[in-house]
Amino acid sequence: MIGNKTIAAKKNTRFRESLLDTFFPKVCVGCGKIDTFLCPKCHSKIVRIKSPLCLGCGRLSEKGRYCPRCKLKTKLNGVVIAAHYEEGPLKEAIHTYKYEFVYDLKNVLATFLADALKREGFNEKYILTYVPLHPKKENWRGFNQSKLLAEEVSNITGLELMENILKRKKNNPRQIELKRRKRFENVKDIFSVNEEIVDKISGKKIILADDIITTGATLGECAKVLKENGARQVWGLVLGKH
């Protein structure tokens, strides 16, 4: 039986979509063509990463794993980066998705993440989760962009999604506004795990989804608390490196 709730939810989604179309007409983020947020031509200009590197030193490294020297500085096992941030309209697509509340771009962006996971051989032994927003910021924005991406990647790949495992204790300033050294201080000890489901982490290989990465400070802090609570491996998964 399909409940009235499902029908109501569908009507609601359609209503919201029609509202969004009115206030945010569909325009390609790359070329301005109407009726699409990313036309096929601009989509094809986004360049996927074929040879993953160690994020710390830039040496070639399978799966984006940290090399023996760089891994001493982070709790992350590695970072999977889907595409080149500066090539094609990837930057514009991420920005529009994140700051202009464009839900349609979520599916396109999640496909890049899912493809990168498949390419690097991450299978169903890995569990997906995401970088949490502070509740105040999530309320203000109306959604957590990383959570929605993780949900969609889970739908595409079939990898299990673990929700609400991490909490952000402090509503810290945005990393993008800070210099490199300050970024590590800004996120230090701001995450904790949800005590009610902490036993779910033990022995797990976890993939943390986020939109972009710069220094890896935020993902590294998340990895730290996950490993303190028994996670076996923690990997980052992002669209691009800024």
Give the largest CA-CA distance in the chain: 57
CA distance 97 to 106: 7
Question: Which is closer to Zn ion, CB of 30 or CB of 240?
Answer: 30
Question: Which is closer to Zn ion, CB of 25 or CB of 203?
Answer: 25
**CB of residue 80 vs Zn ion: minimum separation in angstroms?**
15
Site residues (vs Zn ion, CB under 5 A): 28, 30-31, 33, 39, 42, 54, 56-57, 67, 70
**CB of residue 40 vs Zn ion: minimum separation in angstroms?**
8
- At 38 the three-state DSSP class reads coil
Question: Which is closer to Zn ion, CB of 67 or CB of 143?
Answer: 67
Contact (CB, 8 A) for 149 and 191: no
**CB of residue 188 vs Zn ion: minimum separation in angstroms?**
22
CA distance 218 to 238: 12
**CB of residue 42 vs Zn ion: minimum separation in angstroms?**
3
Joined together, the tokens standing for residue 123 give 């299978």
Alpha helices in the chain (DSSP H): 4-23, 40-45, 90-99, 104-119, 135-141, 145-157, 180-187, 217-228
Site of tokens 């203000």: 140
Question: Which is closer to Zn ion, CB of 57 or CB of 198?
Answer: 57
Looking at residue 72, what DSSP letter applies?
Answer: G
Question: Which is closer to Zn ion, CB of 55 or CB of 225?
Answer: 55
**CB of residue 75 vs Zn ion: minimum separation in angstroms?**
15
